[in-house]
Structure 1
C-alpha cells in the first residue's frame, strides 16, 4: 500500500474545493486553515483506524510501553497502606537493656534488725528523736519488752455477746482443739465476738483475725478482720467484732465446723482453734 504525502493531499483537496465551487456556487470556500485542520483530523483518524498512534507505533508496542509489570512484594518488605511511616519492631526494642538487667539483679538490702529495747536505747540523748519514738510507739511498758526480735501475742479470753443475755465466755484450749461442742447459738439471733490479748517483746504488725465456717463439708461463711499494729504493754488490748445475725430456718439449723486464727503480716500464727458449734431453735440452757 502506498501512502500519499501531505503536499499531494493538500493540493488535491484545494483543487476539489475549487471544482465544487464552480459547480455548486459555494459562497464560503474553505480556507487553508480549515483544510489543514481537516487534514490533521484525517491523519489522526486514519492512523487510529489502522492501529497506529501519533508516533507511528502499533497498539501492541504502545501498550507494552505504558503498562509496567507489577511484581508482588517480598515477604520481608513493608507494604504501606497509609501515608504514615510503617515501623518494624527492632531486636533492640525486644531485648532487655543492661540497665534493666541490673535492676532485676539488684535486690533490696535491709539493715540489721534490732530489738525494741535496743531501738529505744539508741539516740536516747537526742530529745527530738526520743519524742518521735514515743509518738510512734505510744505507751510502751519496758517490763514487757524482751530481748528477742519476735513479738509475742497471747489471746487471753474469747466471749460471745448477745443483747439481753449474759456473755458466753469460751474456754481456750492449749492445743487449739476444744473437746466436743464449743457453743450453741439461737437461729436469727444477733451476736458479736469479743476477745482480749496481750503483746510482749516487740511490736506486732498487721494482727488480723480470720474465721471460716463449713456445713457438711461446704464452706458457708468466711470472715477476715484487720485488728492493727500493737506495741508491747502490760495492760491487755480488747477488740469487739461487728455484730452479726445467725441464719434461720430448717436448713440453717444443725451442726457446723469452723476454724479461727490470729496471725500477723509475716503470717506468724499466735492461735488457731478448730471447733464445732450448733445453731438451734432456742438458746442452750
Structure 2
C-alpha cells in the first residue's frame, strides 16, 4: 500500500514537472517570438528612417544646387571695378656722409636747372637715402638707376633694387650701401647725371637730370 501510494505520488510529481517544463517551453517560445517581432519592427523602422533621410538629403542637395545656380546668375558685373595703378611719389633724396650734416635734396627739381645741385669731396664715403610714398596699389620691383657722365663720356652707371612696397599712410625710407667718390686730379670737376625710379612694369615715377661737382674739399657750410 505504501509502495503504491509512493508510486502514485511519484507519478503525480513527474506529471507536474512535465507540465511545468511544457509551460516554460511555451513561455520561452512566446518570448522568442516577441523578440523576433520586435527585431522585425526595429528593422522596418530603420529602413523607413533611412529612406526618409535619403529623401531629405536629396531635397537638400537639390536646394543647394538651385541656390548655387541662383548665386551664379546674381553677380553684378557693374560692381566690379578695375584695380588702380600704383602711385609712387619720391619726396626727397639725401646724401649721408660720416661726420657731415646730411645733404637733403628737395624735390621736384626745377626744370632745365643749370645750377650745381650738390658738391662732394673727393675720396669721401657716402650713402644715399630715399624717402617716398606709395598709394593706390602695390608697387612691384621698384628700383633706382643713376647714370653719370663727365665731359660727355659715361663714367658710371648704378642700379639698385629697392623692393616691393604696399600702399600705406606712412612714408618709406631706403638707404643704399656705402660708396666712395673718386679722387685725384682727373676725378675732380663737374659731372652730369640722370636718376630714374621705375618698377617691374617699366613705369617711371621720377626722372631728373642734374649736375654735381667733386672738389678737393667739402663746400663751406657757414652762412
TM-score by length of 1: 0.47
User: Does 1:230 pair with 2:153?
Assistant: no
Please name the residue that 2:86 is paired with: 151
Supply the distance in 1 between the matched residues of 2:107 and 2:98 (Cα, whole angstroms): 23
Report if aligned partners of 1:192, 1:240 keep a CA contact under 8 Å in 2.
yes
The structure showing larger relative contact order (alpha-carbon pairs under 8 Å, at least 6 residues apart) is 2
Deviations along 1:136-167, one digit per CA (max 9) or x if unpaired, are xxxxxxxxxxx852100001111100000010
Supply the distance in 2 between the matched residues of 1:270 and 1:150 (Cα, whole angstroms): 12
Q: Give 1:1-285 correspondences, 5 Å limit.
A: 149-173=84-108, 177-285=112-220
* C-alpha spacing 1:250/1:222, structure 2 compared with 1 (3 Å): same
Please give the root-mean-square deviation of Cα atoms over the aligned residues, in Å.
1.7
Paired residues in the alignment total 141
Deviation, 1:171, is: 2.2
Supply the distance in 2 between the matched residues of 1:176 and 1:266 (Cα, whole angstroms): 26
* C-alpha spacing 1:169/1:178, structure 2 compared with 1 (3 Å): farther
Please name the residue that 1:60 is paired with: none
Runs of 5+ unmatched residues, structure 1: 1-117, 120-146
Supply the distance in 2 between the matched residues of 1:279 and 1:222 (Cα, whole angstroms): 17
Please name the residue that 2:69 is paired with: none
Runs of 5+ unmatched residues, structure 2: 1-79
Supply the distance in 1 between the matched residues of 2:177 and 2:113 (Cα, whole angstroms): 24
TM-score by length of 2: 0.60
Deviations along 1:44-83, one digit per CA (max 9) or x if unpaired, are xxxxxxxxxxxxxxxxxxxxxxxxxxxxxxxxxxxxxxxx
